Structure 1
Amino acid sequence: MNVMHQDSADPVAAKRNSWVLTVAQAFGGANAPIIVSLGGLVGQHLSTDPDLVTLPVSLLSLGLALGTLPAAWVMRRFGRKPGYLLGSVTGMVSGLIAALGIVLSSFLVFCLGTCLAGFYSSYVQSYRFAATDNTTAAQSHKAIVRVMVGGLIAAIIGPQLVIWTRDALPGTPFAGSFLSQAVLAALAFPVLLMLRTSTPPTAHASESALERPLAQILTSPRYLLAIATGVVSYGLMTFVMTASPIAMVGHGHSIDQAALGIQWHILAMYAPSFVTGRLMVRFGKERVAAVGLLLIGCSAAVALSGFDISHFWLSLVLLGIGWNFGFIGATAMVADCHTPAERSKVQGANDFVVFGTVACASFSAGSLLHSSGWETINWIVLPAVALVLVPLVWRAARPGDHSGSPALR
């Protein structure tokens, strides 16, 4: 069965949308690094339970997971543009609530803000799929990567805002950083107004008639492998990243060094995007994803070798590059597995599973770090990588399976 994931190729609209989404990604993508850099540290000030200090970061992941299916429904029913505008408003509100929680010294209110930020991120995460609308199959990989490059800008904006604005409000450390989070979401709103989207998929009666049930799609080994690759690459990245700022501070490094470590990590997450698309065209998406998982394993090995700031930073850089190859490869694999009418539910189901797992990883990271230490966090990475790497390498080695064809096998 040949599955074309674009509505109809329109190079002009696709190019315009890719630039709009790239800028929106730069603003929206900075949402997560602000919370990841500060969520655990604010949690230490506001929570009396050491096991709950990373709860705000975990709630970001939970909100992202819970928001994927409603976001998919909104975009399926009303179209991508209205959905993305709603997401931007959610981002503004989340930053204001988080800042209010800090001002009121309320851990509960702060957690509500970070959870709502996750709902905003559920829209931001789908920008990568929106980039493939109106493209041909051959152009889709490059379109995904082009939008992901916006995350490179976000990697600079987010951590720098943490440093510049964390003391902007006297007497309330870090509140200014979350106000800046709301401002970034507000800046994304007029950008997203320029998006040109097609009619919502449900309006295409002829395509809807050809829609397969989600249960049938879930029986496809290729789709299941794509989901598993996304789960491991994103889940492990979040698992380690959530614990790393607290681990760095706990081993005697400063808050600024921890924030810079997250910045280098997020730069490493997005900087390879300039070449990831070409690598997938040349070697195949499965092979690129496999290299990504290997790099994630290497990052754990570096983390286990010492506690100097160089060990933390190098580990986070390798983790970021590994995430880039693994997650973008998985995204391209998913994009090959649906028709235009199926795209919302297939993409939504993928993100629900991936980010649901990410939320579980994030929730467990804080308590595991507190009870078992930084080394245990990294020892867990190695068998998890091996579990998916083996079938991924087997799939990549099969002739024709990495050709970039949109055929659903």
Structure 2
Amino acid sequence: MYILLESIQAQEFQIAIFFSNFSHLNRNVWMLMCAQSLIGSIGPVVVFVGGFIGIKLAPDEKFATLPIAFMIVGTALFMLPVVKILASVGRKRGFQLAILWGIANTLFSAYAIYIQSFWLFCLSVLLYGGLIASAQQFRFAAMESVDEQHSGLAVSVLLIAGLFAAFLGPEIAFVGKDWFSTEYVGSFIGLTVLFSLSLIFIQFFNAPAAVKTVGRYQGRALSEIIKQPIFVVAILSGTVGFSVMSFIMTATPISMHVHHHFDLAETKWVIQSHIIAMYLPSFLLEY
């Protein structure tokens, strides 16, 4: 019993230290966390209702989940251009431009659904890759805003955004589904509101001064990096893990709601639970 009490007290002490370190974080971290909570909702929205929209609009039901695939492909396509743009115009301005891009694209998505165009909807989902790729750079901006010893905590705080987005995304898609005469148009209009709010938080983000590299060192060439066995292992493990995750999240909404006739609210809860389970362990392990 004495050993158990000592263990509990030690854990409580570690938790107290963990939360006390929040006071060392720059305001930037919290602004980025709030913005990412809103921007990150796009993924859960597309995963939750993308298949339902696909079934209604696709020329063949076998293409129903294609919009979700376009979101993943779009993120990969836009990643390198986004990084270069941020390096050119600066993080704050780059983030602002990406959010404005996202706001315009939510209206494009809503329009595509309204005119019942499957391929325009797929294109609009592909274009979300620009905003998603930009939001994935928030963690680096957060790390640059704090001392090196608090960089892990800054990343952990950014991971909290995933928990909020896991709830907000499916919730706004569910609530907005019937806002307009055409089903699911309101789901993307709801994203317009969330993205607009995220733009306000980014206004309070003050990008730290860029650190200039001294000397001629430019880092290793990509060809050298990809030859490392550890790189290959990382790519393969990431591919397998992401494939399994994508399969589950893509198939579950259609399987539950369309084929097994579960209520949409129950389907929403399953998607929310899955995404929360993705982020919560990462938050606990990061620090």
| Residue number in structure 1 paired with 2:226 | 218
In structure 2, what is the equivalent of residue 185 of structure 1?
A: 195
Deviation of 1:15 (Å): 2.2
Q: Matches of 2:151 and 2:239 in 1, distance apart?
A: 21
Gaps spanning 5+ residues in structure 1: where?
A: 1-10, 279-409
* 1:94/1:116 contact within 8 Å kept: yes
**Matching of residues 203-282 of structure 1 within 5 Å:** 204-206=212-214, 209-249=217-257, 250-278=259-287
State whether residues 96 and 113 of structure 1, in contact with CA within 8 Å, keep that contact through their aligned partners in structure 2. no
TM-score normalized by the length of structure 1: 0.60
- Residue equivalent to 2:106: 95
User: Do the aligned residues in 1 keep the contact of 2:25 with 2:150 (CA within 8 Å)?
Assistant: no
Counterpart in 1 of 2:13? none
Letter in 2 for 1:153: F
Query: Identity of counterpart residues, as a percentage?
Result: 32
Give distance in 2, aligned partners of 1:76 and 1:229. Answer: 29
- What amino acid maps onto 1:206 in structure 2? V
Contact 1:13 1:134 in 2 (8 A): no
In 2: Cα distance, 1:229 partner to 1:66 partner: 21
Residue-by-residue CA offset, 1:263-309 (whole Å, 9 max, x unaligned): 1112222233542224xxxxxxxxxxxxxxxxxxxxxxxxxxxxxxx
Please give the alpha-carbon distance, in whole angstroms, between the structure 1 residues aligned to 2:66 and 2:72: 10
Number of corresponding residues: 265
Q: Is 1:41–2:52 an aligned residue pair? A: yes
Separation (CA, whole Å) in 2 of partners of 1:101 and 1:14: 42
Q: Which runs of 5+ in 2 are unaligned?
A: 1-21
- C-alpha deviation, 1:246, in angstroms: 1.1
**Contact 2:28–2:145 (8 Å) recurs in 1:** no
Letter in 1 for 2:91: R
SS in 2 for 1:237: helix
Q: 1:87 to 1:14 in 2, by over 3 A?
A: farther
Question: Residues 77 and 200 of structure 1 are in contact (CA less than 8 Å); yes or no, is this contact kept in structure 2?
Answer: no
Offset at residue 131 of structure 1 (A): 2.4
TM (norm. structure 2) is 0.84
Q: Who is 1:164 aligned against?
A: 175
Which of 127, 135, 142 is equivalent to 1:131?
142
- Equivalent AA in structure 1 for residue 178 of structure 2: D
| 4+ residue runs over 6 A deviation | none
RMSD: 2.3
Q: Deviations over 1:310-364 (max 9, x none)?
A: xxxxxxxxxxxxxxxxxxxxxxxxxxxxxxxxxxxxxxxxxxxxxxxxxxxxxxx
Matches within 5 A, 1:77-96: 77-96=88-107
CA distance in 1, matches of 2:146, 2:112: 43
Which residue identity is paired with 1:189?
L
Tell me, what secondary structure is at the counterpart of 1:271? helix
Q: Distance in 2 between matches of 1:221 and 1:137?
A: 28
